[in-house]
Amino acid sequence: MNTTDTSAPLYRRVGQDLWEFILAELKPKGKLLTPFNIISAPIILLGLVLIVFRFTKGLGAATNLSQEFPWGIWIGFDVVTGVAFAAGAYIVTFMVYVLRMEKYHSIVRATVLNGFLAYVFYAGALALDLGRPWKIINPIIGNSFGVSSVLFLVAWHFLLYMMAQFIEFSPAIAEWLGLRKLRKILGTLTIGAVVFGICLSMLHQSGLGALFLLAPAKIHPLWYTEYIPVLFIVSSVFAGMSIVIIEGTISHRVFRHQISAEHHAKHMDIMVGLSRLAAAALFVYFFMKILVLTHGMHWNELLTPMGYLYLVEVLGFVVLPFIIFVKGAKNRDRKLLLSAAIITALGIIFNRLNISVIAFKWYAPVHYMPSWIEIVVTLAVVFGEIWAFRWVANRMPVFMESPQWVKHLDREVEYPVPKGAVANINSKTAALQPVKIKK
Amino acid sequence: MKTTRRKFLQFAGVTAGASLLLGPKNTFSSVPPRNTSQQYAMLNDTTRCIGCQACERACAEKNCFPIPEMKPEIDTPRNTSTEALTVVNAYSTDNKGIVFNKTQCMHCDQPACVSACLVNAMYKTKEGPVIWREDKCMGCRYCMIACPYDVPKFEYGSLNPKIKKCIMCYDRLQESKIPACAEACPQEAILFGKRGELLDIAKKRIYDHPTKYVRHIYGEQEVGGTNMLYLAGVPFEQLGFRTDLGTIPYPEYTKTFLYSVPLALLLAPAFMLGLRQATKGKNDKD
C-alpha cells in the first residue's frame, strides 16, 4: 500500500470552497507504483472487464454454475463469507457503545468503515450473481413481498444495515468536509444506529445460515443441523474479530503516520483484548459443534472423505487457532495473534464454503468448481474493497485524529447550555465546562 | 436513575420502529392447514407406463420445445431441463423387470421453492399447481437450492433468463383443458383430477391388486404431501425416488427461525439500551 504525504492539509478548513476541496481530494495521494498496487490494479481492471462480459454474455458463459449447483463462490464466498468477515463492526460497536468499553473506541471508525465497505462490495457482488438483476428492487418496493422467505429477511437487513453503518460512519465524512452543523446532527444518531444495527446484524448473520435450513436433503449431515443459524452467529464473532485483528495489524503499519502516539501505545492492549474475545467465541463454537455432532449421531460419518474434511475444519481451523490465540494473548505476541487470526479467517472461508458449496450435494458425481472468471471477479471485489478503504482512510478521520473543532462540538452536545439557565454540571473540572464555538 | 420523557420516547421509538419494520404479521410464514382434496392433482401409475414418451412429446409441443430425441436408457436417468419439463426414465427393478417412471414438478402442497422465494415469483395457486411468475423473479436461484426434487431449471445461457418448470399446464387448466401429458398418455398411466379422488383411486388400486402394487402412495405424505401422486409395483427407491425426504413440509424448517425474528427485534433493543444504562459511569451523560 502507499503512504500519504503528511504535509498536505487535513480536512476542509473553514471558508474553503467545498467543491474545490472535494475535487482536490479526488486526486490520488501517495505513491502509485507500490507492490500492492501493481498486483491489485490489473486484477481490478480485468475484473471490471469480466463483469461487463458477465452482463453481455450471461451467467452461463462467465461461471461454472449449473442446474445441479445454482450457487457458487459468488454467493458462498462473496456474500456468505464476506458478511461474516464484516461482523467486526457490530461486535466492536456493541462493546464501545453498549458496554462502554472505551478502550476500543479508537478502532470503531476503521471497523465500521471496513464493515460498511464489505457490505457494499461483497453483498453488492450479489447483483452480479442475480440472473435478473433489473428486478433487484422487487423485494424492497416491488410490492411482492415473499415474507415467508429467509432471503427476504436477509435482503432487507442488508439494505437497512448498510444504512445504519453509513449513519455510524457519517460523522467522519462531515468532519472531513468540515460541515459542523451536519456533524452535530449525525453525531446524535450514532447510538440509535448502533443499537438498530446490532439487532439487524444478529438476525442476518444467523439468517445467512438459516438460508441453508431449506436444503436438509442436500447438505452433508455433518454440516446440516437445525442449529446452523446459531453456529453462524457464534462463528461471526470470531470471524469479525479475526478480520479486525488482521486489518488492525496491517493498518497499524500502513497508516502508521496517521495514528496518534496514545493509540499506538494502546494498540497491543486492544489486539490482546480482541484475541481473548475471539478465543472465547472459538471455544463456545467448538463446544456447540461437539454438541451438534453428538445429538446428530453422525459419528460413523467421520471416517469418510467428507468426515476428514469436517475434522480438518473443526480441529485445524477452530481448535488450533483457539490455542494460538490463548498463547498469543498470554505472551502478548503480535505474530502469534496475527497468525491465529489468519487461520481463523481461513477457517471461516472453509466453513462457509463447506456449507454453501463443498458439502452441498456432496453426493453429486460431478461437483462444481469455480471458473477462473468467478475467481478473478471475486479477487477484484476484495481488492476493490481494500482500495476504497484506503481511499477513505487517507482522507477522513479514520485513523487520524478528528479536527479540533469536533471536540468542542461533542462537548457542546453532551453538555448543552439550557436556555436562560446556568448549566447544571459537575463544574469541579474546568475541562467539562461548556465551550462556545465561534463560527 | 430517572426516566425522563425524552428518554422514554427515545426508547419507545427505537423499539417500536424495530418491531414495526418486520412485525409478526410479516415474518410468520403463512401456511395454514388446508384441505387439499379439491385441488388439481395427477396420479402417475408406474405399473401402466410403457415408456412411449407421448407425454414428453406433448409437453414439448405445448411449450414449443424441441421434440425429445433421447430414449429412456435403463438405469441412466435423464434430468428435466429448461427444454424438457418432464422426462421418462427406465429402471431395472428386483422382481418387476424394467419399470418406467415419469418425473416432473411434484407440485408440493407446501412447496420449498415458494417458501424460499423472496419475491413471490414461485407461487402456489389455490387450484394446486405451483407456477413461476416472470415479472417478479430476480433470478437468485434460491428456489433451486431449496427444492428437494431439483425441479426448477434456470436458463444460464440467456440474458433474460427464466426459471423453467412444469406448471401442470396451468394455462390449459384455465381453458378447461387437462394437462398435455395426461391427455397424450395412451395407457391412462397419468390420471388428472382432484387430489382427494385420485387418492381414493390409488388406494382402491392397491386394495384390489395387493400383489401388483407396494402399499404406498408416493406424494400422499412426502414433504407434507404433493399434488403429484405415484403408484408403483416396486419399492420407490428402485425407481429413482428420494425416499429420505420425510413428511415435514419444507417451510417448517425455517419457521422457528422466522418466528424468532420479531421477538429478537422487540427484545434486543430493550436489552441493549438497558445494558447501556447499566454500564453508565459517573461522567457519562446519556
The pLDDT assigned to B4 comes to 67
Q: Can you tell me the mean pLDDT for A269-284?
A: 96
* Residue B131 and residue B111 in contact, taking contact as beta carbons nearer than 8 Å: no
Q: Can you tell me the mean pLDDT for A404-415?
A: 78
Test A217 with B120 for CB contact under 8 angstroms. Answer: no
Which fold, A18-412?
Formate dehydrogenase/DMSO reductase fold (1.20.1630)
How far CA A131 is from CA of A6, A54, A207, in Å, comes to 46, 10, 22
Residue with the bigger pLDDT between A383 and A409: it is A383
Nearest to A355 by CA among A85, A96, A81, A131: A81
- Closest-CA distance of chain B to residue A100, Å: 7
Share above pLDDT 90 across residues of chain A, in percent, rounded to a whole number: 69
> In chain A, what is the straight-line distance between the N-terminal and C-terminal CA atoms, in Å?
38
ipTM reported for the complex surpasses 0.90: no
Q: Can you tell me the mean pLDDT for A91-95?
A: 96
Selected residue of B138, B267, B273, B282 to mutate for chain A interface (largest A Cβ count, 10 A): B138
Nearest-by-Cβ selection for B138 from A67, A98, A130: A130
State how far the Cα of B189 lies from the Cα of B183, in Å rounded to an integer.
10
Test B115 with A226 for CB contact under 8 angstroms. Answer: no
Test A71 with B141 for CB contact under 8 angstroms. Answer: yes
Nearest-by-Cβ selection for A149 from B115, B150, B256: B115
Q: Which residues pair with B98 in a beta bridge?
A: B92
Test B150 with A216 for CB contact under 8 angstroms. Answer: no
Nearest-by-Cβ selection for B119 from A65, A138, A210: A138
Test B141 with A99 for CB contact under 8 angstroms. Answer: no
Strands B87-92 and B40-45: unpaired
Instruction: Say yes or no to pLDDT of B148 above 70.
Output: yes
Test A196 with B22 for CB contact under 8 angstroms. Answer: no
The pLDDT assigned to A5 comes to 45
State how far the Cα of A135 lies from the Cα of B134, in Å rounded to an integer.
10
Which fold, B40-247?
Alpha-Beta Plaits (3.30.70)
The pLDDT assigned to A7 comes to 43
Q: What is the 3-state secondary structure (H, E, C) of chain B?
A: CCCCHHHHHHHHHHHHHHHHHCCHHHHCCCCCCCCCCCCEEEEEECCCCCCCCHHHHHHHHHHCCCCCCCCCCECCCCCCECCECCEEEEEECCCCCEEEEEECCCCECCCHHHHHCCCCCEEECCCCCEEECCCCCCCCCHHHHHCCCCCCEECCCCCCCCEECCCCCHHHHHCCCCCHHHHHCCCCCEEEEEHHHHHHHHHHHHHHCCCCCCCCCECCCHHHCECEEEECCCCHHHHCCCCCCCCCCCHHHHHHHHHHHHHHHHHHHHHHHHHHHHCCCCCCCC
The pLDDT assigned to A28 comes to 81
Query: What three-state secondary structure class fits A248?
Result: helix
The pLDDT assigned to A17 comes to 83
Nearest-by-Cβ selection for A199 from B150, B242, B268: B268
The pLDDT assigned to B149 comes to 95
Q: Which residues pair with B193 in a beta bridge?
A: B41
State how far the Cα of A304 lies from the Cα of A316, in Å rounded to an integer.
17
Share above pLDDT 90 across residues of chain B, in percent, rounded to a whole number: 77
| Single pTM value for the model | 0.88
Tell me the DSSP string of A344-401: HHHHHHHHHHIIIIISBTTT-SS-----HHHHHHHHHHHHHHHHHHHHHHTTSSSSSP
Nearest-by-Cβ selection for A151 from B116, B150, B280: B116
The pLDDT assigned to B22 comes to 52
Instruction: Say yes or no to pLDDT of A79 above 70.
Output: yes
The pLDDT assigned to A430 comes to 45
The residue of chain A with its CA nearest to that of B259 is: A148
Nearest-by-Cβ selection for B116 from A59, A214, A415: A214
Residue type, position A27, single letter: K
Instruction: Say yes or no to pLDDT of A426 above 50.
Output: no
Domain ranges of chain A: 18-412
Q: Which residues pair with B231 in a beta bridge?
A: B45
Instruction: Say yes or no to pLDDT of B23 above 70.
Output: no
Selected residue of B119, B134, B255, B277 to mutate for chain A interface (largest A Cβ count, 10 A): B119
Confidence of residue A438 (pLDDT cuts 50, 70, 90): very low
Q: Can you tell me the mean pLDDT for B133-154?
A: 95
Residue A5 grid coordinates:
504525504
Q: Can you tell me the mean pLDDT for B19-31?
A: 50
The residue of chain B with its CA nearest to that of A145 is: B119
Residue type, position A212, single letter: F
Instruction: Name the average pLDDT for chain A.
Output: 89
Test B119 with A202 for CB contact under 8 angstroms. Answer: no
Q: Can you tell me the mean pLDDT for A149-158?
A: 93
Test A202 with B275 for CB contact under 8 angstroms. Answer: no
Instruction: Name the average pLDDT for chain B.
Output: 89
The residue of chain B with its CA nearest to that of A229 is: B257
The pLDDT assigned to B78 comes to 92
Q: Can you tell me the mean pLDDT for A222-248?
A: 95
Instruction: Say yes or no to pLDDT of A197 above 90.
Output: yes
Residue A84 grid coordinates:
461474516
Test B148 with A149 for CB contact under 8 angstroms. Answer: no
Contacts of A350 (CB under 8 A, 6+ apart): A312, A313, A317
The pLDDT assigned to A2 comes to 45
Test A202 with B14 for CB contact under 8 angstroms. Answer: no
**A residues 372-431 near B, CB within 8 Å?**
414-415, 426
What phi, psi does A9 have (nearest 5°)? -65, 135
Tell me the per-residue pLDDT of A21-51, one tens digit each, with 9 for 90 and over: 888 888 888 788 888 999 999 999 999 999 9
Residue corresponding to grid cell 472531513: A176
Q: Can you tell me the mean pLDDT for B153-178?
A: 95
Domain ranges of chain B: 40-247, 249-278
Nearest-by-Cβ selection for A58 from B28, B150, B156: B156
Residues of A in contact with B4 (CB under 8 A): none
Range among A4-8, A120-124, A253-257, B81-85 rated most confident: B81-85
Confidence of residue A258 (pLDDT cuts 50, 70, 90): confident
**A residues 142-181 near B, CB within 8 Å?**
142, 144-153, 155-156, 160
Share above pLDDT 70 across residues of chain B, in percent, rounded to a whole number: 88
Instruction: Say yes or no to pLDDT of A61 above 90.
Output: yes
Contacts of A15 (CB under 8 A, 6+ apart): none
The pLDDT assigned to A431 comes to 47
Residue A246 grid coordinates:
488482521
State how far the Cα of A176 lies from the Cα of A405, in Å rounded to an integer.
12
How many Cβ pairs within 8 Å bridge chains A and B?
A: 191
* Residue B121 and residue B132 in contact, taking contact as beta carbons nearer than 8 Å: yes
Tell me the per-residue pLDDT of A278-329, one tens digit each, with 9 for 90 and over: 999 999 999 999 999 999 888 888 999 999 999 999 999 999 999 999 999 9
Q: Residue A261: which H helix or E strand, with range?
A: helix A261-296
- Closest-CA distance of chain A to residue B209, Å: 33
Q: Can you tell me the mean pLDDT for A240-269?
A: 89
Query: What three-state secondary structure class fits A219?
Result: strand
Residue with the bigger pLDDT between B25 and A142: it is A142
The pLDDT assigned to A331 comes to 94
Residues of A in contact with B136 (CB under 8 A): 135, 138, 142, 144
Instruction: Say yes or no to pLDDT of B103 above 80.
Output: yes
Test B137 with A132 for CB contact under 8 angstroms. Answer: yes
Contacts of A125 (CB under 8 A, 6+ apart): A74, A78, A79, A82, A377, A378, A381
**A residues 10-69 near B, CB within 8 Å?**
55-61, 63, 65-68
The pLDDT assigned to B75 comes to 86
Instruction: Say yes or no to pLDDT of B20 above 60.
Output: no
